Amino acid sequence: MRTPQSSNPHFVQHISITAITLMTLYPAMLAGAFVGYQILFLGQRPPLNEFTAELITIGLGFMAGVGCLSYGIDRLHIPYLPFLARVGAVLTISGGVIIQAKMISKLLLENYTFGKFVLHLTLLLLSCFVVALLDHVHPRPMRAQYAIPILILEVIHLNIMVIHYVLIGAKSPATVLGDLTLFTTIITLALAFLGQSRRVVNLLAYKLTKTLVEM
């Protein structure tokens, strides 16, 4: 009678890597989601030392999970690990969209302090970084698809900005700066996901150089 061990000599290794991945990657992601929920929806603003400690511990767990995930996919070719990576990336980009929507709403209401804006922007950048890492270890990257939801939401944000500033006006210049910062950040991230950031930078550099030469 054939056992899983006899049919697959790497059976124990496959199970071990999968178990370690599940026990490190997803708990770290859940912890990150919980911290984000506390900051975004409960209005908690942890002290810098506590926030740094949380980021370090969550980051260690996440990197351990990604390391096992990468090893299992690249070296052991475990067939179901890419699915785990894809699920993690989809959940994380969904969280990033929620953060982005929350930031847009707070900017629209002009209900932002500088500290909270920076904190929320940090969460957004971290979520995109997580998506990029998870997509990098996947054998079939879908980074361009991950750019679509944040781009769609940013187009909506742009229209809201136009309507808001034309019809209502801004009470504070800081709000305008916040809108521009968020818009520029999202467009830059989307271009990076689409693999077009270098091309755009080169084009802008060329146009700037040409303009300066012709002056």
Q: pLDDT tens across 5-45, in order?
A: 545 557 788 888 889 999 999 999 999 999 999 998 888 87
Instruction: Determine the structural domain holding residue 51 and report its residue range.
Output: 4-214
pLDDT classification of 210: cutoffs 50, 70, 90: low
Tens-digit pLDDT profile for residues 51-88: 889 999 999 999 999 999 999 888 888 888 899 899 99
Q: Where are the alpha helices (DSSP H) in 42-142?
A: 48-74, 81-108, 114-137
Distance in angstroms (rounded) separating the CA atoms of residues 59 and 111: 30
Tens-digit pLDDT profile for residues 140-170: 877 778 888 888 999 999 998 888 888 877 7
Spatial contact of 86 and 133, defined as CB atoms under 8 Å apart: no
The pLDDT, as a whole number, for residue 9 is 59
pTM of the model as a whole: 0.82
Residue indicated by tokens 């002290």: 47
- Calculate mean pLDDT across residues 173-195: 86
Q: Is 32 helix (H, G, I), strand (E, B) or coil?
A: helix
Taking phi over 0 as left and psi of -120 to 50 as alpha, with beta for the rest, 110 belongs to left
Distance in angstroms (rounded) separating the CA atoms of residues 18 and 12: 10
115 exposure class (CB count in 10 Å sphere: 0-12, 13-18, 19+): exposed
| From 25-39, 69-83, 100-114, 186-200, the region with the lowest mean pLDDT | 186-200
**Amino acid making up residue 15:** I
How many domains is the chain built from?
A: 1
pLDDT at 205 over 70: no
pLDDT at 213 over 60: no
Percent of the chain as helix, strand, coil, to the nearest 5: 85, 0, 15
